[in-house]
Structure 1
Amino acid sequence: MKKKYSYILPTLLALAVALGIFIGGKLHFNDTPEKLFSTNSKKDKLNRLIDYIDYEYVDEINTDSIVDVTVNNILGKLDPHSVYIPKHEMEAVSENMKGDFVGIGIRFNMFRDTVTVVRTIKDGPSYKKGLRAGDKILLADNDTLFGRRIPNSNLVERLKGKAGTKVKLRVYRKSEERTFEVTIKRDVVPIKSVDANFMLTNDLGYLKINRFAESTFKEFKSALLSLQKQGAKKLVLDLRDNPGGYLGIAEKMADEFLKDGKLILFTKNKKGNIKKAYATSRGSFEDNPIYVLINERSASASEIIAGALQDNDIGTIVGRRSFGKGLVQREMDLGDGSAVRLTVSRYYTPTGRSIQKSYEKGHKDYYQKFMERYSSGELISVDSIKVADSLKFTTPKGKVVYGGGGIIPDIFVPIGTLDEERIESLDSSGYFSDFVFRFLEQDRSRFLNYPKHEFIEEYRVDDIIFERFIDYLLNRNLKLDFYGNEEKIKTYIKANIAEQLYSPNLGVQLKSGQDQMLNKILDLDTEVMQIMDEALIQSKD
């Protein structure tokens, strides 16, 4: 997604600032509508309507909210991905896409009405000052943070601030039964795009990316280099559940796998202008096997990479059909702190296919079609995927690929059972994490000197913890076949303990053994190695 400024729309939201006051002072409200609207300008009509409401309407009205509704209604007539970002949401959206924020660098829970540290971000301000998981923050600059219900958003505001400013915290450490004060200087804290990177086998690396922010490519390169140093000659690039982000970041990442001169994608705007993006000679993984994991929630930039590799006959796409977003947005400032992300072009994969699904019947139908994948059987069988012959394309090596609604993988992996998907959902929704946090809070001392390698090899989630987790879910009216999925549940409990004690990376690594797609890749990789070995033996004979 390219971030530029518009010369067309900023006037639309100037309604909420000085323009209304300025025009209001100039207008004579006894003028006739014919005189006021003589220019017949669409923008002028909107501006004047807001002024009429501001100065003449019988009741006090928040015209800012009217403007927000108006803008959303206008965008609602366009495609589903042209969206309005209100001023109060811009900071969070910008932080997410930039890939960092200014704060003290902790992840916390509100536990028994007290801010409790779940984990400090490595090398962040709190990490450097010695804060630990389990520490309870009682005061921040004499503001009480315990004993009352405070919204998380308010707590975040009190702990965040400008870079270089300081906040004095009063902290209670249960493990040492002491209270102490620490002053922390706020600093830039990264929002990680790379969830995990580790070795699956001696030569097969794994790298999972959750979005395409400004910082993503730098993180990706660092993780890839680390895997190569560990012996990775093959790579699994996990783009499942990745909603996308900046187009340019996706182009740079695809360049790592494509040889110089290969087409990555091209875009076409309203005027028919075409812009092509080609790979360069800078790629560091061009001649190595790569597997790309996608699912029904992989969108936008994730689909650009999958499509670029598939259309260039590079690597193997594994999983389920992707979301189907082939539109490019540009962020445009509206002058009052808000912005609009407006679709400015479509993108096409190297063979010329658009993977954007139809939105002609409106937004509701657009998202309903996505939900229909669950009922149509598409997520269970590749044969249930409906494709049109008119959208058939052929890669340079003769492989048939299709446009119109997502990237269809080379190797299909069906969705898990209903209970398996429920477990995944419970994990992504934070139930495992919350249970583990409460479990650790009972007695963190048992894990204080637990070496990571011993935890990986020796620690087992026993039946007592398992039963406690069942009670935890039942008390929240959540049910599934617990005993039929005992192994997976115990694995996820252990993985969440590992995440909170050691790192998110280790948590993902421990879950990998229960991952159907990863197991499929390991089987594929083994088959390829066997074929290569047989070919080598035959050549010697």
Structure 2
Amino acid sequence: MEKKFNYIWPTLLALAVAIGIFIGGKLHFDDTPEKLFSTNSKKDKLNRLIDYIDYEYVDEIDTDSIVDVTVNNILGKLDPHSVYIPRSEMQEVSENMKGDFVGIGISFYMYRDTITVIRTIKNGPSYISGIKPGDRILMANNDTLFGKRIANNEIVSRLKGKAGTKVDLKVYRKSEDKLMAMTVTRDRVPIKSVESYYMLTRDMGFIKINRFAESTFDEFKDALRKLKLRGAQKLVLDLRDNPGGYLGIAEKLADEFLVDDKLILFTKNKKGRVKKAYATKKGDFEDKPVYVLINERSASASEIIAGALQDNDVGTIVGRRSFGKGLVQREMDLGDGSAVRLTVSRYYTPTGRSIQKSYKNGNKDYYQKFIDRYRSGELVSVDSIKVADSLKFRTPKGKIVYGGGGIIPDVFVPIGSNEEEAIESMDDTYEFFSRFVFEHLEKDRKQYEGYTRNQFLDDFQVDDILFDEFIQFVLNRKIKLDFYAQEEKIKDYLKANIAEQIFSPNVAAQIKGEHDQMLQKVKELDAESLYDKKEIGALDPKN
């Protein structure tokens, strides 16, 4: 049966958001957790029940799985963001939030049952050892890594290890038809949260952040420093699709744009204890124009930054109403390698807004409300956003802002058509473009060897042959779209994915940005701002 993206993509996207918000829910606090397991009759009852099942029940039962189900059921009665992390998932979740892992530094596909390198991490272990895109890794320390029955997580576990340890690889290089023995020394490999950065205009930089991990602030500072050296006096901070992460990192990043002693946010816990966070003297981009991009999938720490700037009348928030997560979690160890992220407080923006949407009707209703946004028309028209006068607040300069259910942007940009959004889903969620481009490069990588980065940006054009091949690739996967109506966007995405695999994500982002509606709106706003300044200057008798 044929899949039709224009009908199923909102539901699938909502599921992706739920997973993303789960991953992004790890917000850090310094206060000490109360003891979880003090003795009382309620806890004794659960312990006794598990013991009875363990020792007396007629059949063999995996009580660990029963405990997992029980914990999930208990947390499910609390709120949508109090979650359980099983022991089996803790390492991956921790690495994602820490911002690095120990490995050999490659991204790969299983291509015809063999690990094939998409690209190596620049200056990482494999890059230093001479592994190249297109190389097939056949063996690691005499363990076979090819075959249809080998799962990705098993491959990753064989390539991971302790920092400084060596792994002997057998590598086949197709371009030279040569089998090689290579030794790679494992090391820490970054998991980038600053996805891309580049100069959007002559004096405006662009930085996209995909989550708030331990390494995010340092990555941001590095990107900002490089953009300032290139002349950036203005900044676009792209927080679209960012599900959040560490609260402390969001505070530090907001501090970059706010002058000393401005309130960033405050939190309130069960006992009514209020904790406030203020801007410090450390900001590197104060009193300079900043545009923050948000959408319906921006949540948590992303909303903290948007709310802090909006409530302090700093910068311009552009996009669509954000997700609406105003709860704060703290991760607590359960003693067996698993953990729980428990909601311990609510956060409020500087004007006193809570942007948490209601979850009183349960988790299913909570995420259904996200899907309802597509049906209500609020992603197409700002007038369709429902606001309550009781949740109206004013910023110091008199701008009206609203609490409840997310951050409403200062400047609204509607969502694209179903088919435009389907193309983006094919790129981000389903990786059709990436997989197709990978297979295209596998046929002949040498055709791109003569391009420099700038030559590729200026001169390369996706021809009709490659476009038609992509259409056939997608049709073979039972996807129906009006491809020719979206020809320009598809060709841009093909070019961007080629750029990402042969150059870097920064080049890919620059190509996609050329037809990004929100970025076009930012350019319009910036041009209007410059025009207004010129008009004011012309009327000023001092000029």
Give the TM-score, by structure 1 length. 0.94
Amino acid at match of 1:87: R
Of all paired residues, the percent bearing the same amino acid is 71
CA distance in 1, matches of 2:40, 2:115: 57
- 1:514 match: secondary structure: coil
Residues 124-172 of structure 1: CA deviation (Å, up to 9, x unaligned): 1001111110000011111111243311111111111111111100001
Alignment of 1:81-480 (within 5 A): 81-429=81-429, 430-480=431-481
Whether the aligned pair in 2 keeps the contact of 1:326 and 1:347 (CA below 8 Å) is yes
Whether the aligned pair in 1 keeps the contact of 2:309 and 2:315 (CA below 8 Å) is yes
* TM-fit CA distance, 1:489: 0.2
Amino acid at match of 1:468: E
Amino acid at match of 1:226: K
* TM-fit CA distance, 1:10: 5.6
CA distance in 2, matches of 1:9, 1:441: 54
CA distance in 1, matches of 2:120, 2:146: 19
CA distance in 2, matches of 1:339, 1:163: 25
CA distance in 2, matches of 1:458, 1:448: 14
Give the match for residue 51 of structure 1. 51
CA distance in 2, matches of 1:215, 1:9: 30
Whether the aligned pair in 2 keeps the contact of 1:260 and 1:278 (CA below 8 Å) is yes
- 2:324 match: secondary structure: coil
- 1:454 match: secondary structure: helix
CA distance in 1, matches of 2:154, 2:262: 49
Give the match for residue 28 of structure 2. 2
CA distance in 1, matches of 2:186, 2:413: 45
Unaligned runs of 5+ in 2: 1-26
CA distance in 1, matches of 2:170, 2:449: 22
Give the match for residue 17 of structure 1. none
Whether the aligned pair in 2 keeps the contact of 1:80 and 1:359 (CA below 8 Å) is yes
Give the match for residue 35 of structure 1. none
- 2:276 match: secondary structure: strand
* TM-fit CA distance, 1:536: 1.5
Compared CA separation, residues 178 and 78, structure 1 to 2 (3 A): same
* TM-fit CA distance, 1:448: 2.4
CA distance in 1, matches of 2:515, 2:191: 27
Give the TM-score, by structure 2 length. 0.93
Residues 248-277 of structure 1: CA deviation (Å, up to 9, x unaligned): 000000000000010000000000000000
Whether the aligned pair in 1 keeps the contact of 2:29 and 2:248 (CA below 8 Å) is no
Whether the aligned pair in 2 keeps the contact of 1:10 and 1:334 (CA below 8 Å) is no
Whether the aligned pair in 2 keeps the contact of 1:103 and 1:159 (CA below 8 Å) is yes
Amino acid at match of 1:211: R
* Farther off after superposition, 95-104 or 40-49: 40-49
* TM-fit CA distance, 1:7: 4.1
- 1:291 match: secondary structure: strand
Amino acid at match of 1:2: H
- 2:49 match: secondary structure: helix
Whether the aligned pair in 2 keeps the contact of 1:6 and 1:333 (CA below 8 Å) is no
CA distance in 2, matches of 1:8, 1:414: 47
What value does the CA root-mean-square deviation take over the aligned residues?
A: 1.2
Whether the aligned pair in 2 keeps the contact of 1:319 and 1:413 (CA below 8 Å) is yes
Residues 25-63 of structure 1: CA deviation (Å, up to 9, x unaligned): xxxxxxxxxxxxxx9611111111111111110000000
* TM-fit CA distance, 1:175: 1.0
Q: Which structure has the larger Rg over C-alpha atoms?
A: 1
CA distance in 2, matches of 1:445, 1:412: 44
Give the match for residue 5 of structure 2. none
* Farther off after superposition, 83-92 or 193-202: 193-202
